[in-house]
Chains A and B, each alone.
Chain A
């Protein structure tokens, strides 16, 4: 075990950093209660033992104290008020792109049984179980499932969002240095779920563009048939790259899975085209 293994504590982007900050604030605030309780408990259980030569005061009828009660209703109320403000602030911050000035990239994510499909509507390529992103640009993940409900989680970039059939969920993440980051499905989807790990590779913009070109030149195309096979194969797969994918397959999948009833989600994919 070493420090690098604590993925949540080693953020590689602004979203995970905001979340870590809140985690640290919350730890400090709860310790204000936990530590005194631990000390008091040790003290009380030691001091007030029932043995004949215990000189500590014994007040069997003493059972009310306005002052004490105000203190221990007051302390938790204050702590929760402070933490509540931080929580509200960060919750609203995280639904916006982490950076206003850089142009965002959109990546469409589909949870399949049992692998992750990433489609790049702007680049026209697709990948499985590996997701490459440019550094320092906000990435808008639009997430759905063609499988039972899953969760999309890359601890070093930021916390998770569910992937649900027929729905399009938006998650903003961003990497601020190049690296390879571990990701895993966040919600149980059956037999192959345990091996639904993937990684996110972040590269400087120029190298990202180069990578896109290489995939376009060297990787096979994902045909409609290939897409259907991928969806129905019910297995884990290694990392795969595709130079193209059937146009509109992401939107079609959402629609077919029930998205036709979900106005909000249709708007999201409309906006993400």
Chain B
């Protein structure tokens, strides 16, 4: 069978190609070092086959940072092109590819892995568990995400990138208007990583409901755990809509169906609806977990209980339901009629209520506390003004007749960057600084971190405030160039300058990480509780042993660790020799990565419509599943003696 397309090398913009090449070079350099020091076995045993939630979490952080670099380069390319009218830095086709991959990467391959990093690194430790409910599935989630991201990233190099925006609306994405494999890359990349996300949602829902330490009732759970529970529920209900939308569009493209073309009775408006039925809840999937982060960071660095715990829980749960009832606010202009627009408008504003309540609760957590301006706290405090403005412009957008004027203008762009950067990214960074010592055993340097924060924070406002104004000046999104004489020039230039400041901020964050790694002995966290924080993970050494808790703690109230410290009884969480029993842990396995490689092959097959390749890939997927299901022994016991030794070595006994 002749393939429909032959991949042609280097189809994209040379600069993007450069960004991808530098990612590839970094990877090759790492591989070379591993090869040179004969660390292959170590890499395979310790990382590629791991089912340890802590290591999987670290893999997510690395992936998120790498993808933030790639997405950031996309952003800077766009801003460079828009710095002046009629620039010839990028041509239309390239610009369209760049904004499409920018959005897709930032939401799916930066925001999502940051969330999953948090889920993985913190949740089991925080609820007193030794791993997640389904560790093997957890590894599959990571590798499906990884190969999904890889698929999207190689599109620049072979075959061409998607170029219809991260929303990928039909009918623009139908074969008729968008031939070539680019759009298929988008569809398959999201489909693969979507499988991973769905599995993560299920995994953490079950983990949180079933694996909490004895005594940790729901209302004693830390707020991050609540937030992850809410986000997991949203994932489980939202992702199927995306899966269906992508699958139907793929069938349209490769099999000539008409789900989303008007001909033969299909309807593109159905795609728009399905996409946002996932898409709006998605913004809360990447937001609720960072709400959780802030609910840990503010109390920890204010030396004070979180304010209004029940109200916080209620608003999380309210958001997880209401977020499903607002999707049509993304297309007030699609002519659904005044009744529909009024309903979706008011419902959208209403979600601002629980969100606003949370902001007040965070502020009153600091009120009458004792604030320590550490790095996590700096990102958390920086988040508040950012997010309040983003929420305010969200409410403005939700007033439908106002939205008729903002829709698809730069005003909208400014809104969602304000909430996504100011919320999701600030929160992820706050979380990264906060739990970094728990992951690696040393804190990140303050001085360099502070410079990074200020570059980023100032850069942020300089980039996005002009964009609100540009929107009001009539500048639409997704245009690769604009004429002079509209009054847009100076504001665009300013926005570009801000973007480069943020780029510099990113470099400083990377530098902070490298610097701190080099000076890790001075920054070492010997206590396991470097911030004097409140929840159970801080009762463990940094980094915690493989099995987390030698003896599973019993919880009697909220902020158990803080209360014990306060009453001078922190030692009760240390294991005693007679309490230690053999610990059952899951085995590492190479199957998750192999399974995902086969899925990657299926993805490539669909992208280029090579049916034989699809069949080979699917056969591999089925074979790995079969092998796994006949596997008898998927776990092992760590003998009590070994646990005792380890705890002794950690100075815990």
**A contacts, CB < 8 Å to B:** 1-2, 4-9, 16, 18-20, 22-23, 26-27, 29-31, 33-34, 37-38, 40-41, 44-45, 48-50, 54, 56-65, 68-69, 72-73, 75-77, 80, 83-84, 86-88, 90-92, 94-95, 147-149, 151, 153, 155, 158-162, 164-167, 169-170, 182, 184-194, 197, 257-259, 261
Q: Quick one: given A64-B308, A69-B308, are A41 and B472 in contact (CB under 8 Å)? A: no
Complex-state Cα separation, A16 to B402, whole angstroms = 9
Cross-interface CB contact of A80 among B268, B352, B368, B486, cutoff 8 Å: B352
Q: Please determine whether A162 and B356 come into contact, CB atoms closer than 8 angstroms.
A: no
A149: chain B residues within 8 A (beta carbon): 169, 171-172, 268
A45: chain B residues within 8 A (beta carbon): 366, 371, 373, 381
Q: Is B369 an interface residue (CB 8 A)?
A: yes
Q: Is B341 an interface residue (CB 8 A)?
A: yes
Q: Please determine whether B164 and A59 come into contact, CB atoms closer than 8 angstroms.
A: no
Q: Quick one: given A7-B473, A87-B346, are A76 and B357 in contact (CB under 8 Å)? A: yes
For A41, the closest partner residue in chain B by CB is: B384
**Cβ contacts B73-98/A at 8 Å (1 or 0 each):** 00000000000000000001100100
Q: Please determine whether B392 and A30 come into contact, CB atoms closer than 8 angstroms.
A: yes
Q: Is B236 an interface residue (CB 8 A)?
A: no
Q: Quick one: given A2-B487, A26-B399, A190-B96, are A95 and B333 in contact (CB under 8 Å)? A: no
Q: Quick one: given A1-B490, A192-B92, A258-B261, are A162 and B401 in contact (CB under 8 Å)? A: no
Nearest CB on B from A14, distance (A): 12
Q: Which one of B92, B302, B365, B472 has the highest number of Cβ atoms from chain A below 10 Å of its Cβ? A: B472
Q: Quick one: given A185-B476, A258-B263, are A148 and B172 in contact (CB under 8 Å)? A: yes
B311: chain A residues within 8 A (beta carbon): 69, 73
Complex-state Cα separation, A2 to B469, whole angstroms = 11
**Cβ contacts B380-415/A at 8 Å (1 or 0 each):** 010011001100110110111111111110000000
Q: Please determine whether A148 and B169 come into contact, CB atoms closer than 8 angstroms.
A: yes
Q: Is B350 an interface residue (CB 8 A)?
A: yes
Q: Please determine whether A8 and B474 come into contact, CB atoms closer than 8 angstroms.
A: yes
Q: Please determine whether B342 and A92 come into contact, CB atoms closer than 8 angstroms.
A: yes
A170: chain B residues within 8 A (beta carbon): 335
B352: chain A residues within 8 A (beta carbon): 76, 80
Nearest CB on A from B216, distance (A): 19
B50: chain A residues within 8 A (beta carbon): none
Q: Please determine whether A58 and B333 come into contact, CB atoms closer than 8 angstroms.
A: no
Q: Please determine whether A59 and B368 come into contact, CB atoms closer than 8 angstroms.
A: yes
Q: Which one of A7, A61, A92, A148 has the highest number of Cβ atoms from chain B below 10 Å of its Cβ? A: A148
Nearest CB on A from B497, distance (A): 15
Q: Is B363 an interface residue (CB 8 A)?
A: yes
Q: Please determine whether A194 and B486 come into contact, CB atoms closer than 8 angstroms.
A: no
A95: chain B residues within 8 A (beta carbon): 337-338
Complex-state Cα separation, A45 to B402, whole angstroms = 35
B385: chain A residues within 8 A (beta carbon): 37-38, 41
Cross-interface CB contact of A258 among B165, B262, B367, cutoff 8 Å: B262
Complex-state Cα separation, A257 to B258, whole angstroms = 12
A33: chain B residues within 8 A (beta carbon): 356, 388, 392
Q: Quick one: given A76-B352, A91-B342, are A34 and B392 in contact (CB under 8 Å)? A: yes
Q: Please determine whether A41 and B402 come into contact, CB atoms closer than 8 angstroms.
A: no
Q: Is B353 an interface residue (CB 8 A)?
A: yes
Cross-interface CB contact of A58 among B268, B368, B488, cutoff 8 Å: B368
Q: Please determine whether B404 and A19 come into contact, CB atoms closer than 8 angstroms.
A: yes
Please list 22 pairs of residues, one from A and one from B, whose beta carbons are closer than 8 Å in the complex, sorted by A's number: A8-B405, A8-B473, A20-B405, A22-B399, A40-B363, A41-B381, A50-B370, A54-B370, A58-B303, A69-B357, A80-B395, A84-B346, A87-B342, A90-B401, A149-B171, A151-B407, A153-B408, A160-B404, A184-B476, A186-B476, A188-B169, A188-B477
Q: Is B250 an interface residue (CB 8 A)?
A: no
Q: Quick one: given A63-B308, A148-B177, A185-B476, are A91 and B341 in contact (CB under 8 Å)? A: yes
Chain B residues 452-490 with CB under 8 Å of chain A are: 469, 471-474, 476-483, 486-488, 490
Q: Is B349 an interface residue (CB 8 A)?
A: yes
Complex-state Cα separation, A77 to B381, whole angstroms = 25
Q: Please determine whether B363 and A7 come into contact, CB atoms closer than 8 angstroms.
A: no
Q: Quick one: given A19-B401, A27-B396, A160-B408, are A194 and B262 in contact (CB under 8 Å)? A: no
Q: Quick one: given A37-B363, A91-B338, A258-B263, are A193 and B308 in contact (CB under 8 Å)? A: no
Cross-interface CB contact of A34 among B366, B371, B388, cutoff 8 Å: B388
Q: Please determine whether B333 and A48 come into contact, CB atoms closer than 8 angstroms.
A: no
For B334, the closest partner residue in chain A by CB is: A162
Q: Please determine whether B396 and A23 come into contact, CB atoms closer than 8 angstroms.
A: yes
Cross-interface CB contact of B476 among A86, A87, A147, A153, cutoff 8 Å: A153
Nearest CB on A from B237, distance (A): 25
B357: chain A residues within 8 A (beta carbon): 69, 72-73, 76
Q: Quick one: given A49-B370, A185-B476, are A6 and B333 in contact (CB under 8 Å)? A: no
**Cβ contacts B288-320/A at 8 Å (1 or 0 each):** 000000000000001111111101000000000
Complex-state Cα separation, A169 to B269, whole angstroms = 13
Known: A6-B473, A153-B407, A186-B407. 14 other contacts (CB 8 A): A8-B471, A30-B392, A50-B372, A57-B368, A63-B305, A63-B308, A63-B309, A80-B346, A80-B395, A88-B342, A161-B404, A188-B478, A194-B92, A194-B482
Q: Please determine whether B491 and A19 come into contact, CB atoms closer than 8 angstroms.
A: no
Q: Please determine whether A159 and B368 come into contact, CB atoms closer than 8 angstroms.
A: no
Q: Is B35 an interface residue (CB 8 A)?
A: no
Q: Is B359 an interface residue (CB 8 A)?
A: yes
B483: chain A residues within 8 A (beta carbon): 197
Q: Please determine whether A87 and B401 come into contact, CB atoms closer than 8 angstroms.
A: yes
Complex-state Cα separation, A169 to B331, whole angstroms = 14
Q: Which one of B268, B346, B360 has the highest number of Cβ atoms from chain A below 10 Å of its Cβ? A: B360
Q: Please determine whether B478 and A193 come into contact, CB atoms closer than 8 angstroms.
A: yes
Nearest CB on B from A37, distance (A): 5
Q: Is B364 an interface residue (CB 8 A)?
A: yes
Complex-state Cα separation, A76 to B346, whole angstroms = 13
Q: Please determine whether A83 and B399 come into contact, CB atoms closer than 8 angstroms.
A: yes
Cross-interface CB contact of B472 among A8, A34, A38, A257, cutoff 8 Å: A8
Q: Please determine whether B164 and A188 come into contact, CB atoms closer than 8 angstroms.
A: yes
Q: Is B651 an interface residue (CB 8 A)?
A: no
For A258, the closest partner residue in chain B by CB is: B262
Q: Please determine whether B335 and A87 come into contact, CB atoms closer than 8 angstroms.
A: no
Q: Please determine whether B392 and A60 come into contact, CB atoms closer than 8 angstroms.
A: no
A190: chain B residues within 8 A (beta carbon): 96, 163-164, 172, 177-178
A184: chain B residues within 8 A (beta carbon): 474, 476, 479
Q: Please determine whether B368 and A84 come into contact, CB atoms closer than 8 angstroms.
A: no
Q: Please determine whether B305 and A62 come into contact, CB atoms closer than 8 angstroms.
A: yes
Q: Is B113 an interface residue (CB 8 A)?
A: no
Chain B residues 503-561 with CB under 8 Å of chain A are: none
Complex-state Cα separation, A162 to B272, whole angstroms = 12
Nearest CB on B from A39, distance (A): 11
Complex-state Cα separation, A191 to B519, whole angstroms = 50
B479: chain A residues within 8 A (beta carbon): 184, 193-194
Nearest CB on B from A72, distance (A): 4
B399: chain A residues within 8 A (beta carbon): 22-23, 26, 83, 86-87, 90
Q: Quick one: given A19-B402, A87-B346, are A165 and B262 in contact (CB under 8 Å)? A: yes
Nearest CB on B from A176, distance (A): 17
B338: chain A residues within 8 A (beta carbon): 91-92, 94-95
A94: chain B residues within 8 A (beta carbon): 338, 401, 404
Q: 8 closest A-B pairs (Cβ-Cβ)?
A: A159-B404, A258-B262, A5-B487, A166-B262, A148-B172, A30-B392, A194-B479, A50-B370
A4: chain B residues within 8 A (beta carbon): 487
